Amino acid sequence: MHSISVRDLTLNFGSHAVLKTMNLDVAEGEFIVLLGPSGCGKSTLLNCIAGLLDISDGEIWIKGQNVTWAEPSERGIGMVFQSYALYPQMTVRGNLSFGLKNARMPKAEIESRVARAAKILQIEPLLDRKPGALSGGQRQRVAIGRALVRDVDVFLFDEPLSNLDAKLRAELRVEIKRLHSRLNNTMVYVTHDQIEALTLADRIAVMKGGVIQQLDAPQVIYNRPANLFVAGFIGSPAMNFLPGAVVDGGRSFRLGEHSIALEGYDGRAVDLPRAILGLRPEHIAIATDPRPGTSLPAVVELDEPMGADSLVWLKAAGQQMSVRVPVERRLEPGTPVYLHLDLPKASLFDAATEQRI
């Protein structure tokens, strides 16, 4: 049984389709991250799952129940929002217990649940304060606590860390991960931050234009992006794209006057007049000598030390490329070098369909 199952979900605003026949199954205890640029429909999908938006077509199942038309509170979910959405006139305790009171839970039970959540999140000293007197991080803990006390199997996070500064964000990210491993409940987490996605998720659903582009484990998403969009969206700096053609019955990639042997590439190899070769910066090595068939001559333009490693920007075959190198390796602008390509880790896309081949 899936924890959450979205079946053929469609959502239209007027004539504009925001979500298009979407399908998504989330296993029990799984941490799914919905990732995408703004306007891709990821928050909309989350709101549909929560029951905060009426869908146009399709079904939503949670824990084996068809909840397509159930009220949000009847779906057995807890939700955490970007702006925390704490009730300003209630104390922290009031915020935590509001939902339980609405469910007409006995007082003692409410108290014990609030106490437990407060303990887990270490917000016990704050219980009698109003949200206005809390810091951003504290507020978000309370917001998480509000989902926690509901003792539900599904947690929905709508960009919960976006309003926090970088340091707090990293802290809370870890905390959410710890929480997940402790509670082991299903979590659906919306973000536009790929670091959050890559660190937290069991699986990532990369979305664009109301469609899930790829749904896979973070490493798969990273290493074997399903299409050009996913390849470009994930990874910083972005994947290097080299436009060219697949020739020789799929055995080599022609890039201007250069030809690269597609040795060890694990895709189906067919000839394509217009194709794109994608290589992540760390899958390229810089050398002084050429390596026949799998290297390209290049000229260094700029190097960008980033602490742990360094990015080198070069020009090769008329394309700008970036390469990740150890920080000790400094290269003067104008130096001619050869790029050795790690083709087994490369991605090849059909320029027309933008799909991986």
Which tokens belong to 274? 């217009």
In the complex with another protein, which residue's Cβ is closer, 38 or 288? 38
In the complex with another protein, which residue's Cβ is closer, 160 or 244? 160
52 binds another protein (CB under 8 A): yes
68 binds another protein (CB under 8 A): yes
Contacts with another protein: how many residues (CB under 8 A)?
A: 39
Place of tokens 């969009």: 229
Give the chain's end-to-end CA distance (angstroms, integer): 33
Q: In this chain, which of 8, 21, 23, 54 binds another protein, going by CB under 8 A? A: 54
Closest separation in Å from C-beta 97 to another protein = 10
Calculate helix-pair angle for 166-183, 136-148, nearest 10 degrees.
Answer: 20
Segment interacting with another protein, rule: CB under 8 A, options 79-87, 176-184, 233-241, 333-341: 79-87
In the complex with another protein, which residue's Cβ is closer, 14 or 249? 14
The answer to whether residues 92 and 123 touch, using CB atoms and an 8 Å cutoff, is: yes
131 binds another protein (CB under 8 A): no
Please tell me whether residue 287 adopts helix, strand or coil conformation: strand
Buried b / exposed e over 238-252, threshold 16 CB at 10 Å, is ebbbbebebbeebeb
210 binds another protein (CB under 8 A): no
Q: In this chain, which of 2, 29, 56, 85 binds another protein, going by CB under 8 A? A: 85
The answer to whether residues 203 and 217 touch, using CB atoms and an 8 Å cutoff, is: yes
Angstrom distance (rounded) from CA 209 to CA 318:
31
38 binds another protein (CB under 8 A): no
Residues 6+ apart with CB under 8 A from 104: none
Closest separation in Å from C-beta 133 to another protein = 16
107 binds another protein (CB under 8 A): no
Q: In this chain, which of 26, 40, 41, 47 binds another protein, going by CB under 8 A? A: 47
Calculate Rg over the CA atoms of the chain. 24
In the complex with another protein, which residue's Cβ is closer, 91 or 194? 91
Closest separation in Å from C-beta 127 to another protein = 17
Angstrom distance (rounded) from CA 250 to CA 272:
8
Q: Between β-strands 16-26 and 154-158, what pairing exists: parallel, antiparallel or unpaired?
A: unpaired
| Sites of contact with another protein (CB under 8 A) | 13-14, 47, 50-52, 54, 63, 65-79, 81-89, 98-99, 102-103, 143, 146, 158
